[in-house]
Structures are given as structure tokens and as C-alpha cells.
Amino acid sequence: MHVVHYTHSIDCAVCTVFRRSKMTHCRDLLSIPSLRNLQLLGGKKGLSRPMNWVYFILSQPFGNWVNYGDLIFYNPAGRDTSEDMLLSAIQEAELCGLAGLIFLLDPDLLPQLPDSVALEADRLAFPVFSLSITENINNISRDIITYIVQSNLQEKRGTSFWKKLLFEEASAEDPNLLTQAYINGINPRQSYCLYLFQFCNLPDYFKLPVQQRQVADPAALLSGFYSKIRFFLSGELTNYWLVEHQESCAVILPVSPSGPTTQSTQLFLSIVQKLEKQYPGARIRVAKGSLIFTLEQAPRSYIEAQRAIYIENLYPEELPYIDYSKLGFQRLLYEISDVELLRRYVEDTIGSLLLYDLQNHTDYYLTLLTYYRQMRNLTQTAQILNYHRNSMILRMQKIEEITGLDLSDHNHFYNIYVALEIYEYLKKLENET
């Protein structure tokens, strides 16, 4: 039998409760004194899975009775204890996103598990433990729940601080801000990065058939949405805060002053992809605000992430990950509140072309937009619009005639580019209202 046996000390457990990272993970089971006889059979690589609660399960299937991050005590004795059934229990538990599975072994009916259990747990990176049914399971479950509750209280204090800072503007000016941060387990001298997950099409999502969306109401969906983000993060990160707000969820994590790594970016992008697989038909985005060097900058970073998602939704390019600092020109458009000023710029630059198309039922504007979107590559533009290259040359000459602009002139190039971007932005704004 492939077994790893752990012993624990009370001092270690106390240290873990009060100095650990904010979330409870499956590996924390190995620090609880009453679980000194717990044996890890396999799935060591999955010990970073989050652990939210404890349940006893008496039979399969158990998918309808559990939630992401639950730890399951499972007693298969007295029922089908075949190898196939034991393996299917592990597979179902992993598929449900559970923290781990503890097999309760009966010395008479099921004294040990086959080696294939350990192998399957390792393959899935899913923690599988064993514990004798003769142990005081009620006391053990009470100790686990107490541990989870204590850890959650610590996490909630930090999360409450960030929520107050992000959504109560006066708190950033509080002279006791640094003291409050330290009290709530947050280092105010640390640099942080804020990522914002958002369920962008929640109203439209609930127009889908209930069989497709699998949830009855928005509250249940958002609860699962937050839980899944927490679950996907917990396997990769140990120190972060998650702040839920309406259809979005902010993730704040400590970073070096130079900012997050490429691996962090890839992690958040992969989580978006996993979430959209969990919610077919959903449009989920994640955006990064500017770095937080002082706590007072946190509300600004949150607003920037919101703006990044909003701006991305205005444009046809569907980007699951948006960095506010990389938006460039679109950031300036959003900051301009005088819409009439933007309209006048469009009219002064390409207004004659728009009017010509309207009066003559032509599509020269589309030609010009495509030309610029293809980095002024005439051949690619012709292919996309299904024109012969010679016809494209004539169309570009006609556009120059109508607008009075020289498409090869460097200054005219930037004026046209800005006008095109503004016009597309204004069209999206009109569709939003």
C-alpha cells in the first residue's frame, strides 16, 4: 500500500491558525492534532485545493449534495466496495471540485484500499486520505470546522478592510489607515496588483434555457461564480484577497514593485477560459488596474479595471484579458466627457465621407476602416472586402477625393486614425443607451 503517514504537534497547529495564508487548504488537515492518524494515500500535488466545509456522504452519486471546496468523509463499507466503485468515487469528487476525500475504513469490512486508489489520486492530483472508522469522527469533524471558521474569520477581516477601502472613498483619507491595515493582517508598505473578474452578460445569460445555464437565479449563479474563482486561484496562489461586488470580483495580491509576472497574467487568463467552460454562453472578462504602491491608490486601480472592461466591451475584438495601462488611445476617449466635442472632430475629418455614403448608398467608410484595421495593407483589405486590387486602388483614390485628405501623408494618417476610432467609439456608446 502506497501510504504517507503524518504526525502533528499542538504548537504547530496554533502557529498555522494565526500565521497561515488567509485561505484554508486541504494541506491544513495535516496540521490538526486530532487528525494525527490521518493517512495521505495519494494526490499530494493537489493539497493546495481550498477547503470550505466538511460533509459526510454515505452513498454515490453525491454531486448534488456538495459544493466546490467541500471536504468529504466517505464510508463505502457495507455497500459496493469494488475497485471500480472506489475509483469512481474519486473521479466524481474531483469532477465536483471538492477539496479532498477521506475514506473511512472499517477494520472488519474494508481494512485497506487497493493501490489503484493512490495511483488514481496521483493521476488527478486530487488528495485522497484514509482514516479508521473507529476514530471519533464527530470530534474530528468539529475540529476541522473550527479550524476553517477561525481561518475564515482572519480572511474576512482582511477582505472587509479592502472592501471598505475600495467602496468607501472617505476611508482612503483616514489618518488611521495604516494602523487599520496592520490590524487586519495587511502590510501597507507592500505593493499590490488588482485584477477584476466580471460576468459581463448576466441579464442575457439568464435568457438562455435553464438546461443550458443550470442555475435558477442570478444570486445562485454569482455565488458559484465567486466560489469557482476562489477555487481556481487557490491551487496556484497562497496569499491574496477576494472582494465580491455585484457581477464582479476583485482579486488583490501582493507583488514586487516591478509588477506581476507573466505567469500571473497567464494564470488569470486561464481562469477566464475555465470559467467560460463552466458557464457556456457567458462572456467573462478579467482586467488589471494600475499597480498599487500605497493603499490610497487602491480605489483608483479598481476604477481603472472597471473602465478597461467597459472599453473592451465597446470594441469588436473580444479580449478575455485587458490591462488598463495598455489600452492607450481608448483610455483618453473614455476620459473625455464632452461627446459633442468628439462628434465635431469626426465631422471635421471624415464627415464628408460619411455624408457621401449616406446620400449615395456606398460603403467607402467601411473600406477606409478596414484599410486602417489592416495596417494600411491594400492587398489584405482587398481580400477581406472581396475587391480586385485595382478596384481597391480606385476606391482609395475616390476616398481621397471625397475627404480632401492624402492617405499617404503622415499627419493625415493620424488624423484619420483618430477620427475612425472616435466614430466607432461613439457608435458603441449609442448602442449602449
Sheet containing strand 70-74, edge to edge, reads: 4-5, 39-42, 128-132, 100-105, 70-74, 53-57
196 and 115 co-located in one domain: no
> What sign does the CA torsion over 82, 5, 49, 219 have?
positive
Domain annotation covers residue 184: no
> Which of 325, 357, 389 represents a domain boundary (last residue)?
325
Domain annotation covers residue 357: yes
312 and 360 co-located in one domain: no
Domain annotation covers residue 72: yes
Domain annotation covers residue 169: no
Count how many domains the chain has: 3
> Which of 266, 301, 325 represents a domain boundary (last residue)?
325
What pTM was estimated for this model as a whole?
0.62
> What sign does the CA torsion over 217, 223, 229, 232 have?
negative
251 and 360 co-located in one domain: no
> What is the domain extent for residue 113?
4-147
Domain annotation covers residue 88: yes
264 and 244 co-located in one domain: yes
21 and 136 co-located in one domain: yes
pLDDT value at residue 11: 28
> Which of 129, 147, 165 represents a domain boundary (last residue)?
147
106 and 26 co-located in one domain: yes
371 and 295 co-located in one domain: no
How far are the Cα atoms of 55, 104, 110 from residue 79, in angstroms, in the given order?
Answer: 19, 13, 10
Domain annotation covers residue 155: no
81 and 134 co-located in one domain: yes
13 and 116 co-located in one domain: yes
372 and 300 co-located in one domain: no
Residue of 16, 103, 13 lying closest to 60 (CA atoms): 103
314 and 348 co-located in one domain: no
What CATH number has the domain bearing residue 111? 3.40.1390.20
Task: Give the orientation angle of helix 364-373 with respect to helix 378-385, to 10 degrees.
Answer: 130
Domain annotation covers residue 164: no
Tens-level pLDDT at each residue, the chain (433 residues): 433 333 332 222 222 222 333 567 888 888 888 888 999 999 998 888 888 888 787 666 766 677 778 898 988 766 667 888 889 889 988 888 888 999 988 887 778 888 899 999 999 999 999 998 888 888 888 888 888 887 777 778 888 899 988 887 546 667 788 888 888 888 888 999 999 999 988 888 888 777 676 677 888 888 888 888 987 887 677 788 999 988 899 999 999 888 888 888 889 999 999 998 888 888 899 999 999 999 989 999 999 999 888 887 776 566 788 888 888 777 777 778 788 999 999 999 999 999 999 999 999 999 999 999 888 899 999 999 999 999 999 999 999 999 999 988 888 888 998 899 889 888 877 776 5
What CATH number has the domain bearing residue 417? 1.10.10.2840
359 and 299 co-located in one domain: no
What CATH number has the domain bearing residue 267? 3.30.70.270
Domain annotation covers residue 159: no
